[in-house]
Amino acid sequence: MTARRAETATASTLCLRVEDWNGHLPGQHVDVRLTAPDGYQAARSYSLAAPAAGGVDGVLEITVQRLPDGEVSAFLTDDLVVGDRLELRGPLGNWFVWQQDDPAPVLLVAGGAGLVPLMSMIRARDRAHIPTPFRLIHSVRTPDDRIYADELERLAAQPGGPSVTWLYTRTAPQTDKRRPGRLRPNDLNDGSNWTLDAAPTCFVCGPTGFVEEASNHLLAAGHHANRIRTERFGGR
């Protein structure tokens, strides 16, 4: 690990330098494996948060949301220090990826840390100056739980930048007109042409329950099942 950044009170981005990295696609993940002195091992998946920088010594970024009592996430967010070494395997997952040459507009729907692989897509689009329309809907508990918020606000303010909407489940900023709460059908079916005419490719990612709800709302809004790609992080 070459550097770490706090994203929120409970989420951190870890920068990992890997020898012989051959690049990856936005949306892919790595498996991280921890080994205790007695040989006990624990492995979990973490999405790559940014496109590969290229070069021989690739620097990868993952963003880990600390779960209360989470075996691997708590170790990575609390105990790992710059200079420590980790075992990684990847890049993995060839389905939940955005192909940069696909002209279809992209609708991104994230719950909590489910934003991580979608952020990789947003960053790839920005770095390569790709005009494909992007829209992100990110559901979080409170404004303080937004990862990458400054960067997203900056990108959204640029001409041709992605459209970004935050939905709050517990506490919303006072200016927010939406009553805080879980995802509702009209959060995804807001009457804009994003709903259907644009026939976007939809990427939905987050805790399992969130992904189930969001993809059902998208189906109910008329999106076709084969245009909805999902990644379930676990949990409820």
Ligand X SMILES: Cc1cc2nc3c(=O)[nH]c(=O)nc-3n(C[C@H](O)[C@H](O)[C@H](O)COP(=O)(O)OP(=O)(O)OC[C@H]3O[C@@H](n4cnc5c(N)ncnc54)[C@H](O)[C@@H]3O)c2cc1C
DSSP label at residue 182? S
Minimum Å distance from CB 231 to ligand X?
A: 5
Half-sphere exposure of 94 (CA within 13 A, CB side): 1
Q: Which of residues 14-33 bind ligand X (CB under 6 A)?
A: 29
Q: Provide the minimum distance between the beta carbon of 174 and another protein in the complex, in angstroms, as a whole number.
A: 35
The single residue among 19, 20, 36, 158 that binds another protein, judged by CB under 8 A, is 36
Of 39, 151, 28, nearest to 96 by C-alpha is 28
Residue 130 sits at φ, ψ, to 5 deg, of -95, 130
- By a kind-dependent CB cut-off of 5 to 8 A, residue 156 interacts, out of another protein, ligand X, none, with none
Q: Which string of x and - marks every residue 31-70 that binds ligand X (by CB under 6 A)?
A: -------------xxxx--------------xxxx-x-xx
Residue type, 131: P
What tokens were used for 113?
Answer: 């840390």
Each residue 94-133 as x (binds another protein by CB under 8 A) or -, in order, gives xxx-------------------------------------
Q: Is residue 174 involved in binding another protein (CB under 8 A)?
A: no
Contacts of 221 (CB under 8 A, 6+ apart): 185, 188, 189, 195, 196
- Residue 47 binds which one of ligand X, another protein, none, with CB within 5 to 8 A depending on kind? ligand X
Q: What strand order describes the sheet that includes 41-47?
A: 41-47, 29-35, 87-92
Is 122 in contact with 134 (CB distance < 8 Å)?
A: yes
Residues that bind another protein (CB under 8 A): 31, 33-45, 71, 75, 79-80, 84-87, 92-96, 208, 211-212, 215-216, 218-219, 225-226, 228-230, 232, 234-236
